[in-house]
């Protein structure tokens, strides 16, 4: 992918996004690397074919035959007929070859994804991502939302489902996309050799805010991942005082607790993103805003202005109350 795409790009002036965090050209995961190689192959086959047809057309257009209207000379016609047969057979063979290459790539990807794997479940909602990590220890499950953190070097099997409409998880740098279809479970296998920060996005039209349903994907060194995971399993303490405590009281006493869940507090709503360790996330509202105090205040003040159609209502809070809630949420590391 890299070689072919870079060549074309340099020919046309360069696009920096090919190297960005949401690009299928980078091949930084096992699956996307194999797909990238296959794409290179297709590019090396199809571009010369296109140029060849254009040359053929150009040559044809330049010829001016003094020919009687209607019939070409029989022997010339026979030559062309042979050419047609050769063309048909060659194109069929090339396409067959590309099909076989496709099949081999598919098989390689499937085989590379076999074996013991970390099991993660991603559940798509309108318009956020719920993420659950299955722990081999019974009764333990790390639940988070709008972030996917995986260890580098390990095989991660992400199973996908949706309770509402069809979504699609697409992490272009790492793997192809898979749809999240209500009533079915499917999966995608991630195997990323090196750490990095990436951005995934929903790739199946799912309603009003399909455009703003992104998912930050963080691939970390195994040690960092373990640290994050264990921190995630821990229950954050109830704040002792100050604005965080005021925010905690407001959060658990007002509308927030009806929908959101924060472990270790009375807020146990199941229908909105889990906020237990919200402070350590990089974005708000599934990739729409960066996670800063100012953005969070803006989000809570009027979610509809940031993400019109979102299911989070405009909760009536005075600016001071809002600041307290923001302080509390940002303290949940």
Choice from 42, 119, 298, 321 touching another protein (CB under 8 A): 42
* Positive/negative CA dihedral, 163, 123, 33, 196: positive
Footprint of another protein on residues 47-66 (CB under 8 A)?
Answer: 49-50, 53-54, 56-57, 59-61, 63-66
Choose the binding region for another protein from 117-125, 133-141, 257-265, 320-328 (rule: CB under 8 A): 257-265
Would you state the structure tokens that stand for residue 151, as one six-digit string? 């260890």
Choice from 6, 152, 165, 238 touching another protein (CB under 8 A): 165
Nearer to another protein, 54 or 294 (CB): 54
| Contact call for residue 208 and another protein (CB under 8 A) | yes
Rounded distance between C-alpha atoms, residue 289 and residue 266, angstroms:
27
Footprint of another protein on residues 73-102 (CB under 8 A)?
Answer: 76-77, 80-81, 83-84, 87-88, 91-92, 95-96, 98-99, 101-102
CB 147 within 8 A of CB 215: yes
Would you state the structure tokens that stand for residue 316, as one six-digit string? 């009536």
| Contact call for residue 268 and another protein (CB under 8 A) | no
Choose the binding region for another protein from 37-45, 112-120, 136-144, 234-242 (rule: CB under 8 A): 37-45
Q: In terms of Cα–Cα distance, which of 244, 223, 231 is closest to 153? A: 223
The angle, 0 to 180 degrees and rounded to 10, between the axes of the packed helices 74-112 and 30-62 is: 170
Nearer to another protein, 67 or 333 (CB): 67
Q: Please give the full DSSP string across 256-284, using - where no structure is assigned.
A: HHHH-B-TTSS-B-SSS---TTGGG-SEE
Choose the binding region for another protein from 69-77, 112-120, 149-157, 230-238 (rule: CB under 8 A): 69-77
Rounded distance between C-alpha atoms, residue 3 and residue 225, angstroms:
32
Footprint of another protein on residues 115-144 (CB under 8 A)?
Answer: 126
Q: How far is the CB of 245 from another protein (least distance, A)?
A: 19
Q: In terms of Cα–Cα distance, which of 312, 329, 125, 149 is closest to 247? A: 329
| Contact call for residue 25 and another protein (CB under 8 A) | yes
CB 131 within 8 A of CB 143: yes
Choose the binding region for another protein from 23-31, 147-155, 293-301, 323-331 (rule: CB under 8 A): 23-31
Choose the binding region for another protein from 111-119, 133-141, 177-185, 225-233 (rule: CB under 8 A): 177-185
| Contact call for residue 201 and another protein (CB under 8 A) | yes
Rounded distance between C-alpha atoms, residue 167 and residue 149, angstroms:
20
| Contact call for residue 264 and another protein (CB under 8 A) | no
Query: With CB under 8 A, what is the number of residues at the site for another protein?
Result: 110
SS3 155: strand
In residues, how long is the chain?
333
């Amino acid at each position: 992918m890299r070689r072919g795409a870079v060549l074309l790009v340099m020919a046309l002036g360069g696009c920096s996004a090919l190297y960005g965090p949401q690009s299928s050209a980078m091949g930084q995961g096992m699956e996307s690397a194999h797909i990238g190689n296959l794409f290179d192959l297709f590019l090396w086959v199809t571009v010369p074919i296109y140029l060849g047809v254009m040359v053929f057309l150009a040559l044809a257009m330049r010829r001016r035959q003094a020919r009687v209207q209607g019939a070409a000379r029989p022997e010339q016609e026979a030559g062309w007929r042979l050419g047609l047969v050769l063309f048909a057979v060659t194109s069929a063979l090339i396409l067959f070859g590309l099909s076989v290459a496709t099949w081999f790539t598919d098989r390689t990807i499937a085989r590379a994804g076999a074996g013991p794997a970390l099991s993660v479940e991603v559940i798509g909602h309108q318009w956020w991502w719920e993420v659950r990590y299955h722990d081999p220890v019974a009764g333990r499950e790390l639940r988070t939302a709008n972030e996917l953190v995986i260890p580098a070097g390990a095989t991660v099997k992400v199973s996908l489902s949706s309770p509402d409409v069809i979504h699609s998880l697409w992490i272009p740098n790492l793997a192809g996309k898979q749809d999240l279809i209500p009533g079915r479970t499917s999966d995608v296998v991630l195997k990323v050799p090196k750490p990095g920060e990436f951005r995934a996005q929903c790739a199946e039209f799912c309603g009003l805010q399909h455009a703003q349903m992104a998912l930050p994907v963080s691939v970390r060194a195994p040690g960092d991942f373990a640290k994050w995971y264990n921190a995630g399993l821990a229950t954050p303490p109830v704040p002792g005082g100050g604005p965080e405590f005021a925010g905690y009281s407001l959060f658990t006493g007002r509308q927030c607790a009806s929908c959101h869940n924060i472990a270790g507090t009375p807020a146990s709503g199941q229908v909105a993103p889990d906020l237990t360790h919200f402070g350590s996330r990089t974005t708000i509202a599934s990739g729409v805003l960066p996670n800063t105090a100012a953005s969070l205040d803006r989000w809570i003040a009027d979610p509809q202005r940031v993400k019109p159609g979102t299911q989070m209502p405009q909760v009536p809070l005075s600016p001071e109350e809002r600041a307290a809630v923001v302080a509390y949420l940002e303290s949940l590391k």
